[in-house]
C-alpha cells in the first residue's frame, strides 16, 4: 500500500463527485427531507421521533454510500479503467482505501448537514454527545462503502447493482431492532440479526440516545470496525489483476 496512491484515488473520486452536483444535492437533501417527514408524522407522539431520530441519522450514510459506491465501482470495472489501473503500480488496498476515504469525507459532510437540521430545527435531543452521532454516521458510511465495494463484484449491470440495496441493506434495517426490539424477535430472527453488521451500528446509535456508553457500546463499535475490515478484505479478494 502507498499513501500517495491511496490519496490520488480519494482525490479523484471526490473530483468526480464534485462534477456531479445533482447527486451531491440528492445525497445531502434527501436525508433532510426524510428526517423532516418523520418529525412531522410523529408530531403527536414526539417520543417516537426522539427514539428513532438519531439511529436514522446514522442509517442514511450507510444506505447512500452503499449505493453510490457499488455503482461507482461497477463503472470502474466495466469502463476498463480498473483494468488499466491493474497494469499500474497500484495496490488493491490503495484503491479500496481511497474509495473509503472519499466516501467518508462525503458522509461527514452529509452527517454535518443532516445533524444541523435534526438537532437544530427539528429539535431532536440525545443524552449522549452530538458529535458521537456524527462519528457513528461516518463509521456507518464506511461500512456501507466497504459492503458496496464487495458486492459490486457480483453485479454485471447497474440494474443488478441497484437491486443489491433491497437485497443486502433492507434486511439489515428490518432486523436491526428499529421496528421490533431484538429481544422480542423469534430465536432464529434474533440469531440472524446477531450476524448482521448493521445491528451493531444501530445499537451503538441507539445507545447514544440514552447515553449508555459502556462496554456494550465498545463491543458495538468494535464489531462495526471489524465488519468494515472484513468487507474491505473480501473486496480486495474480488479485485483481480488477471481476469478471464
Partner 1 sequence: MAAVAVKDLRVVRGGRVVLPGLTCEVEAGAVTGLLGPSGSGKSTLLRSIVGVQRVAGGEIDVLGAPAGSRRLRSRVGYMTQAPSVYGDLTVRENLRFFARVLGLPVTVVDETIEAVALADHADWIVGRLSGGQLTRVSLATALLGSPDLLVLDEPTVGLDPVLRRDLWTVFHRLTGEGKTLLVSSHVMDEADRCDHLLLLREGRLLATGTSAELRARTGAEKLDEAFLRLIDEAGEAA
Instruction: List residues binding partner 1 (CB under 8 A).
Output: 4-5, 7-9, 11-12, 15-16, 19-20, 79-81, 83-90, 241-244
Give 157: exposed, middle or buried? Use CB within 10 Å, 0-12, 13-18, 19+.
exposed
Query: 177: phi > 0 → left, psi -120 to 50 → alpha, else beta; which?
Result: left
Least distance from partner 1 to the Cβ atom of residue 8, Å: 4
Q: Which is nearer to partner 1, 22 or 43 (CB)?
A: 22
How far is 111 from 107, CA to CA, in rounded Å?
6
CB atoms near residue 196 (< 10 Å): 18
Least distance from partner 1 to the Cβ atom of residue 27, Å: 16
Assign 233 to helix, strand or coil: helix
Q: Which is nearer to partner 1, 80 or 187 (CB)?
A: 80
HEC string for 102-160: HHHHHHHHHHHHHHHHHHHHCCCCCCCCHHHHHHHHHHHHHHHHHHHHHHHHHCCCHHH
Least distance from partner 1 to the Cβ atom of residue 11, Å: 8
Least distance from partner 1 to the Cβ atom of residue 26, Å: 16
Q: Which is nearer to partner 1, 3 or 187 (CB)?
A: 3
Q: Which is nearer to partner 1, 35 or 76 (CB)?
A: 76
Q: Which residue has the cell 489483476?
A: 241
Q: Which is nearer to partner 1, 74 or 221 (CB)?
A: 74
Least distance from partner 1 to the Cβ atom of residue 112, Å: 25
Least distance from partner 1 to the Cβ atom of residue 130, Å: 35
Assign 39 to helix, strand or coil: helix
Least distance from partner 1 to the Cβ atom of residue 175, Å: 36
CB atoms near residue 8 (< 10 Å): 15
How far is 234 from 236, CA to CA, in rounded Å?
5
Q: Which is nearer to partner 1, 16 or 163 (CB)?
A: 16
Q: Which is nearer to partner 1, 111 or 161 (CB)?
A: 161
Closest CA to 127 of 19, 217, 40: 217
Amino acid at each position: 500500500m502507498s499513501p500517495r496512491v491511496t490519496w490520488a484515488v480519494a482525490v479523484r473520486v471526490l473530483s468526480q463527485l464534485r462534477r456531479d452536483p445533482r447527486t451531491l444535492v440528492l445525497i445531502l437533501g434527501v436525508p433532510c427531507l426524510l428526517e423532516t417527514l418523520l418529525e412531522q408524522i410523529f408530531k403527536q407522539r414526539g417520543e417516537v421521533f426522539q427514539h428513532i431520530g438519531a439511529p436514522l441519522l446514522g442509517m442514511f450514510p450507510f444506505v447512500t454510500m452503499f449505493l453510490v459506491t457499488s455503482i461507482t465501482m461497477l463503472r470502474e470495472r466495466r469502463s476498463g479503467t480498473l483494468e488499466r489501473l491493474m497494469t499500474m503500480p497500484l495496490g488493491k488496498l490503495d484503491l479500496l482505501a481511497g474509495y473509503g476515504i472519499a466516501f467518508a469525507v462525503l458522509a461527514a459532510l452529509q452527517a454535518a448537514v443532516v445533524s444541523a437540521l435534526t438537532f437544530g430545527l427539528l429539535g431532536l435531543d440525545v443524552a449522549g454527545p452530538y458529535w458521537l452521532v456524527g462519528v457513528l454516521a461516518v463509521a456507518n458510511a464506511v461500512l456501507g462503502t466497504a459492503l458496496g465495494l464487495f458486492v459490486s463484484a457480483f453485479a454485471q449491470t447497474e440494474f443488478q447493482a441497484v437491486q443489491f440495496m433491497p437485497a443486502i441493506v433492507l434486511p439489515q434495517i428490518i432486523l436491526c431492532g428499529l421496528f421490533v426490539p431484538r429481544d422480542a424477535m423469534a430465536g432464529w430472527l434474533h440469531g440472524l440479526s446477531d450476524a448482521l453488521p448493521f445491528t451493531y451500528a444501530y445499537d451503538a446509535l441507539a445507545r447514544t440516545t440514552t447515553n449508555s456508553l459502556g462496554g456494550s457500546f465498545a463491543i458495538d463499535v468494535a464489531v462495526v470496525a471489524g465488519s468494515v475490515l472484513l468487507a474491505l478484505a473480501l473486496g480486495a479478494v474480488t479485485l483481480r489483476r488477471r481476469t478471464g
